[in-house]
Every structure is written in C-alpha cells, then in structure tokens.
C-alpha cells in the first residue's frame, strides 16, 4: 500500500492506494466520529464489493446502513440524491455519521454532495472502484449533480476524510471504462507532467492489459499531480482550472448527447483534442505534438473526434461552463505537451474551426 | 443607518440597519464581482419592493435578473430551488454573478442555499424584509431547504457578503409575522442578554405598535448578539447551538403540523416554553422566572402552548434534530433568564412531562 497526502491544512487527508484494501475496515476506523456509517453504492458495484466492505466494518463493531443507487451518469440528479437523504433520515443517521462512497465517479460525486448538504455537512470517505474515480474524481473535494442544461452545475467543495483506492477492483472494470479512465490519466501528463506523458507512451499497452504494478504507478502519479494542484488552489480560483483540459468541450458533448451516452472520459478525450487543435491554430502546439497526442489517445482506444454535433450546440452549451467570465469563454489550452494555460484569447471563429476540424461528420 | 460587522476573518461582512435602504443600490456595488445580479423574491414581497431595489440597481448600470418564488414555508423545498437554478442558467448567470435575497426567512434560506450550490458556490447578499429575517435568519450563513421528515435538513453554511435590513419594510408586515419575529428577539434575551430581556419587558407594546426607533434598536441588539455567537462558533460545534432555544420542539411542531401552518416564530415560542418547563423540572428555572417568560410571550401575542400533538410524534420527529448525538437528544435549556446551556441530562420521562404540561389538549 502506498500513501499520499492532500496537504490541506486543517482538512488534510490521506490517499491509500493498494491491493485488498476493501477488507481493511481498520483503515477507516480512525476517521469515524461514531460507530456508524452509511455506504452509498450502485446496482453494479454493490453485488461485487459491498459485502466485503460492510462485513469488514461490521466485524469491527460498526453499524452499517446500505444505500444502493441505480447505475449511470443519467441518474446523477436531484431525484437520486433525495433517495440518499430519505434513507439517511429513516435510518436515523446524524451529523456525525460518516458517508462512504463505494463506486465510480457518479457515486462519489453524489455521495460527496449528499454529505456536504445533509444537516449542513457530514463527514465522508471515498472508496473509488473505477480507474477514473481512483485517478481523478475521488480526490479534491469537488462534488456535484448534473442539471439538464449543464454537467456538474449544482454542487459543493467538500473534502473527504480519506480516499481508499483498492486497485483489485479494477479487475472487474469493463474495458470501455478502463479506457475512459485513461483519458484523465493522460490529462495529467498533458497539463503539467511531461515525464509522466512519456512514461504513458511506453506503458500504455501494459495498462490496457491491467498490469497491476503499472496501474498502481499510474494511479499514484495521477493522484500526486491532482493533490499538488488541489493544495495550491482548492476552490479553483486559478491553477486548478487546468485540470479541466478538454472538459469545456467534453461537458458540452456529454450534455448534448444525453448524460451517460458518452462516458465522461470519452468526452474528455475528444474535448482534449479540440483543445489541442485550438492550441495549434494559435501557433502554440506543433503538428508533431498534436500527432503524438492523437496517437496516445488512439492507442488507448479513445475517441479522437467529437460526435456529429452542430457547432452552434457546442457554443450554446459552453455558455454555461463554470469558467465563463462576463460572458467570455475561457479555455484550457496547451502551450506544449506538459504545459497547459487558461486562456481567453481564442476568437469565436477559431473555436468554431477547431470544433469542426475535430468533429465526426454526420 | 447603523452598521454592525460579523467579524469572520476572511469572510467578515457588514449588517446595515436603517430606513430607505432599498433605494441604496450604491451600498451593494462594492460587493458585486460583476455588473450583474439575480434577485430572488416571492409573490408577496416582489409587488411591494422589487421595483425599488431593481430600479436603484439598474440606474447604477447593473443588469438585473428577477426570480419570483411562491410565498411560504410549504415551498421551501427542492422543487422551488430548481426554479432558481433553471432561471440562473437560462439567464446565463455565472459563478461571479451575485444572488440577492429579497424577502423573509424562506426566501433568504433558499437563496443562500442556491448560492452555495450553483456552480459550487456564488456570492449572495441578504436583504431581509421581515422582522424574523432581520433579527435572525439573514445573519450567520445558515441556509437550507426542508425535507418532509425534518425542517432545514438539507443545506449549507454559506455566509452572505452583506446584510441590508431596511426597517421601512416592516410597515407592510402582517401583524402575525411581526409577532413571530418577536419570538426570536425574545430568544436573545433569554439565552444570553438579561438587560435586553428587561428592555423588551419595558418596550414590548411599543414594538407591537411598530415604533421605528424601538424596532431599529431591537434589530441592532439582536444582530449584535447573533454576530457575537456566530463569530465564536461559525459551524455550530458548541455555543452556536444556544441560538436553537425552543427549536428542537419548534421544528417538530412545524414538521408535524405541515410546513407553514404554524409560523416558525410561533413554533419557536411554544417550543421555548416547553424548554423552559423542562428547565424548571430540572430545578434550574424558578416558578417566577417561568411566569415572566410566559407573560412576555403572551404580551407578544405568541402561543404559549404547543398544538394538540401526541408526545410520541414529538419524540419521533425530534430524533432527526441536528443536535442528536449517538441517538441521544440534546436540548437547549435555561439555567436562568439570560443564561442558556446545551444539555443531555433530561430523562425521556421528564421530556414527556414537559411536552404534556405545555401542550394544548385536543
């Protein structure tokens, strides 16, 4: 087991990465404020892993309440969230009860937001079971639900007390979800870590074959990047926005296609290539760099073109992007591989051109 | 105009109390991050005051979006909250847009919670138009909506940037709401300010006659008490719970009777007398003190008995109180007039006795 720390002063917390951690209820005990937890999971993950986690906690004398949500981004909304509140109240959970998120990004985001709001704030712990959640969404305290007009529009910053990433859970992850998770892994290399990008170029097939050591290293290096950025800018007033490379376009794709049709990582991959294209139009990224980026996403089996979506639809949905300021879009762009910036300089005509260049044609 | 400060380090903010403040858009300008606001009000308050506030802001060059909610505690729920989100998105409001709450406690609580969640947090300003909101709910950053099983169950701590209390708005306040507001005013005297309680004993009729100077003094003295408590314990880990005198019983009354049937202040008045009764059973409050408290609430025209509600129903609903710890109820009780404490000592049999003694019989 390897342990990193998100060094946020009075809200610092550890990230444990390793094997068979689901059986280690003992790792959670120091973080509980009372001998009672509520575990939120979904209909896919619960049959695989819930009993192991619950059992390990019950053996340690902890009362466990279980909350099973439907699976998928399409359910990341208020209606599902109220299911959590209903059960918490019926089961007499209190401000000091800890909420555990056992699942992927959707479960983690919703559980975190429920914890942020229930009785105005209760503690929670992230136990991510997908690659995407282990490398990205479980770390950093961003929680949210979707709104029909925009992804992650309603949410809160609420840091977990602990992140427990059991790499064994990746054995049961569908291929498509493994690939989607790799999009966020590649992102760290692109925005701030050229050596990591180069390491990924060497080891991508090993990761796709789920070599446990390689996966663990990719997770740890990703989390280290994420933790550094979050500590420098917890509430995204500056640097943290870089983590959103490809997300402005990606969120538009997810919202337009219907939540869950494109996986988040798939939309981020296509969005990242639109951002790379725009960067190259601005003269920042050369043709050979673009080619390198495209090739890595292709090897990962990720889409390198967006869906056949009208440019107008992108522009309309992107108006709701959280980075918009005074009506002006701001994009995360690449000065080079390993060096991202937030920029307002792109003219709308250039944005249109980049989207067109990187969209599948209907 | 008198100005107090809620001295919360990097989140300190002023409370302005005075006349004709709705015309003073200039007081808001220093707190806006962009020349755009969204004003949330309700169908009762908007026809009276919205145009004055909007006009004053528009003349200062501010773009104003208006959001009118249905009036009443019964609408303090997720469905109404989504109305706010829908309009914010349709009107292209951003993270840096400021939300203004123009109305009573319900509008303030919902607007504050919407501001806490929209794009994970936007600034907001409280412009309370009821006595209850001016003396209590607009100050301190508690925001929430109700759940069918419990009042204010879903919410956030989110401090406003400014509180603007225009005492002229109290001229149009229905008598019943004025009286309800006085319940929270009396509360400050009871929990920590004996001289204020004595001042209220002298001036209660003047307050009921809406003497503007007396009202302004009552508001300022209430806000000063509130601000001191909030600064000492923003997130209610200790002393702040004292502000909940009468609220454990009061919330049970509001929830059981149907939100809006009993006004919050009415339920708090009846709840405070149950708490006083319990305090006297514990030997803390003498018969003459109880009598003084009852008399002041009676003069204010507030209920001094709870509704004919089964004791079991109280106990059931109070299990969801946010002060519950490890299944154990905690009450705010009175050691004396002007001196409240949080206590776990009351046995359930004593709690039952106090409720019965202070309930109207069906």
Distance of CA A90 to the CA centre of its chain: 30
Regarding an ipTM greater than 0.90, the answer is yes
Active-site residue (options: A36, A42, A66, A142): A142
A326·B142 Cβ contact <8 A: no
* Nearest CB partner across the interface for B89, out of A118, A144, A149: A149
Confidence of residue B345 (pLDDT cuts 50, 70, 90): confident
Active site (annotated) includes residue A42: no
* Nearest CB partner across the interface for A327, out of B92, B149, B150: B92
Calculate mean pLDDT across residues B82-87. 96
pLDDT tens track for B115-170: 999 999 999 999 999 999 999 999 999 999 999 999 999 999 999 999 999 999 99
Nearest residue to A143 (alpha-carbon basis) of A158, A165, A163 = A158
> What DSSP string describes B89-114?
HHTT--TTSEEEEEESHHHHHHHHHH
List, in sequence order, every residue forming a beta bridge with B36; answer none if it has no partner.
B63
Rounded Cα distance between A296 and B253, Å, is: 62
pLDDT tens track for A235-277: 999 999 999 999 999 999 999 999 999 999 999 999 999 999 9
Report whether B78 contacts B18 (CB < 8 A): no
Q: Give the model's pLDDT for residue B193.
A: 98
pLDDT tens track for B289-334: 999 999 999 999 999 999 999 999 999 999 999 999 999 999 999 9
3-state secondary structure chain A: CEEEEECCHHHCEEEEEECCHHHCHHHHHHHCCCCEEEEEEECCHHHHHHHHHHHHHHHCCCEEEEEEECCCHHHCCHHHHHHHHHHHHHCCCCCCCEEEEEECHHHHHHHHHHHHHECCCCCEEEEECCHHHHHHHCCCCEEEEEECCEEEEEEEECCCCCEEEEHHHHHHCCHHHHHHHHHHHHHHHHHHCHHHHHHHHHHHHHHHCCCHHHHHHHHHHHHHHHHHHHHHCCCCCCHHHHHHCCHHHHHHHHHHHCECCECHHHHHHHHHHHHHHHHHHCCCCCHHHHHHHHHHHHHCCCCCCECCCCHHHHHHHHCCCCCCECCECCEEEEEECCEEEEECCCCHHHHHHHHHHCECCC
pLDDT tens track for A182-238: 999 999 999 999 999 999 999 999 999 999 999 999 999 999 999 999 999 999 999
Q: What is the CATH number of domain B176-357?
A: 1.20.1090.10
Mutate to test the interface with B, among A33, A88, A93, A94 (most CBs of B within 10 A): A94
Calculate mean pLDDT across residues A79-83. 96
Length of chain B equals: 362
Q: Which 258-277 residues of chain A touch chain B by CB within 8 A?
A: none
Q: Does A51 touch chain B (CB under 8 A)?
A: no
Q: Which helix (H) or strand (E) holds B6?
A: strand B2-6
Report whether A166 contacts A127 (CB < 8 A): yes
A85·B154 Cβ contact <8 A: yes
Q: Give the model's pLDDT for residue A346.
A: 87
Q: Give the model's pLDDT for residue B349.
A: 96
Give, in order, the Cα–Cα distances in Å from B272 to each of A109, B73, B263, B268, B286: 39, 20, 14, 6, 15
Averaged pLDDT of chain B: 97
Would the annotation count A172 as a binding residue? yes
Report whether A191 contacts A148 (CB < 8 A): no
* Nearest CB partner across the interface for A153, out of B89, B116, B157: B89
Class for the domain spanning A177-357: mainly alpha
Distance of CA B153 to the CA centre of its chain: 15
Nearest residue to B89 (alpha-carbon basis) of A149, A200, A196, A217 = A149
Nearest-CA distance B92 → chain A (Å): 7
Coil, strand, or helix at residue B196?
helix
Report whether A329 contacts A180 (CB < 8 A): no
A89·B150 Cβ contact <8 A: yes
Residues 6+ apart with CB under 8 A from A260: A72, A73, A74
Distance of CA A42 to the CA centre of its chain: 17
**Residue keyed to tokens 């009450």:** B331
Report whether A181 contacts A105 (CB < 8 A): no
Calculate mean pLDDT across residues B248-258. 97
pLDDT tens track for B50-75: 999 999 999 999 999 999 999 999 99
Q: Give the model's pLDDT for residue B362.
A: 58
Instruction: Report helix angle A78-90 to B78-90, nearest 10.
Output: 150
Confidence of residue A362 (pLDDT cuts 50, 70, 90): low
Give, in order, the Cα–Cα distances in Å from A159 to each of A138, A267, B263: 9, 25, 36
- Rg of chain B over CA atoms, in angstroms? 20
pLDDT tens track for B197-218: 999 999 999 999 999 999 999 9
Q: Is the pLDDT of residue B104 over 90?
A: yes
Q: Which residues of B are catalytic?
A: 120, 142, 184, 226, 236, 240, 244, 247, 251, 264
Question: Which chain B positions have a beta carbon within 8 Å of A140's beta carbon?
Answer: none
pLDDT tens track for A99-120: 999 999 999 999 999 999 999 9
Nearest residue to B21 (alpha-carbon basis) of B139, B135, B105, B102 = B102
Coil, strand, or helix at residue B326?
coil
Rounded Cα distance between B71 and B76, Å, is: 9
List, in sequence order, every residue forming a beta bridge with A312; answer none if it has no partner.
none
Class for the domain spanning A2-172: alpha beta
Rounded Cα distance between B283 and B276, Å, is: 11
Enumerate the domain spans of chain A: 2-172, 177-357
Q: Does B156 touch chain A (CB under 8 A)?
A: yes
Active site (annotated) includes residue A240: yes
* Nearest CB partner across the interface for A325, out of B94, B320, B324: B94
Question: Which chain B positions have a beta carbon within 8 Å of A78's beta carbon?
Answer: 78, 82
Active-site residue (options: A158, A179, A187, A251): A251
Q: Which 18-37 residues of chain B touch chain A by CB within 8 A?
A: 34
Rounded Cα distance between B167 and B286, Å, is: 37
A320·B89 Cβ contact <8 A: yes
Rounded Cα distance between B12 and B229, Å, is: 14
């Amino acid at each position: 087991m390897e342990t990193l720390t998100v060094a946020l002063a009075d809200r610092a917390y550890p990230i444990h990465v390793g094997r068979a951690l689901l059986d280690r209820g003992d790792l959670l005990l120091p973080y509980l404020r009372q001998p009672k937890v509520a575990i939120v999971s979904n209909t896919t993950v619960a049959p695989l892993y819930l009993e192991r986690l619950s059992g390990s906690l019950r053996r340690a004398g902890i009362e466990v309440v279980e909350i099973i949500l439907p699976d998928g981004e399409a359910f990341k909304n208020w209606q599902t969230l109220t299911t959590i509140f209903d059960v918490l109240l019926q089961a007499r959970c209190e401000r000091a009860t800890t909420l555990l998120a056992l699942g992927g990004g959707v479960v983690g985001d919703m559980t975190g937001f429920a914890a942020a709001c229930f009785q105005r704030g209760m503690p929670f712990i992230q136990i991510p079971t997908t690659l995407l959640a282990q490398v990205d969404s479980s770390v950093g305290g961003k929680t949210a639900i979707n709104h029909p007009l925009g992804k992650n529009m309603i949410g809160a910053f609420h840091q977990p007390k602990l992140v427990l990433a059991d790499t064994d859970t990746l054995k049961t992850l569908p291929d498509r979800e493994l690939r989607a998770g790799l999009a966020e892994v590649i992102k760290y290399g692109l925005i701030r870590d050229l050596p990591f990008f180069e390491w990924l170029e060497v080891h991508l097939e090993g990761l796709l074959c789920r070599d446990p050591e390689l996966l663990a290293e990719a997770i740890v290096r990703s989390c280290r990047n994420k933790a550094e950025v979050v500590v420098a800018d917890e509430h995204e007033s500056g640097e943290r926005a870089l983590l959103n490379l490809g997300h402005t376009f990606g969120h538009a794709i997810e919202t337009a296609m219907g939540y869950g049709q494109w996986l988040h990582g798939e939309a981020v991959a296509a969005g990242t290539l639109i951002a790379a294209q725009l960067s190259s139009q601005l003269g920042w990224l050369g043709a050979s760099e673009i080619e390198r980026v495209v090739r890595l996403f292709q090897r990962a089996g990720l889409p390198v073109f967006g869906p056949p979506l009208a440019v107008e639809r992108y522009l309309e949905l992107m108006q709701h992007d959280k980075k918009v300021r005074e009506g002006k879009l701001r994009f995360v762009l690449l000065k080079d591989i390993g060096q991202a910036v937030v920029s307002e300089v792109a003219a709308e005509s250039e944005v249109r051109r980049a989207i067109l260049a990187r969209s599948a044609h209907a």
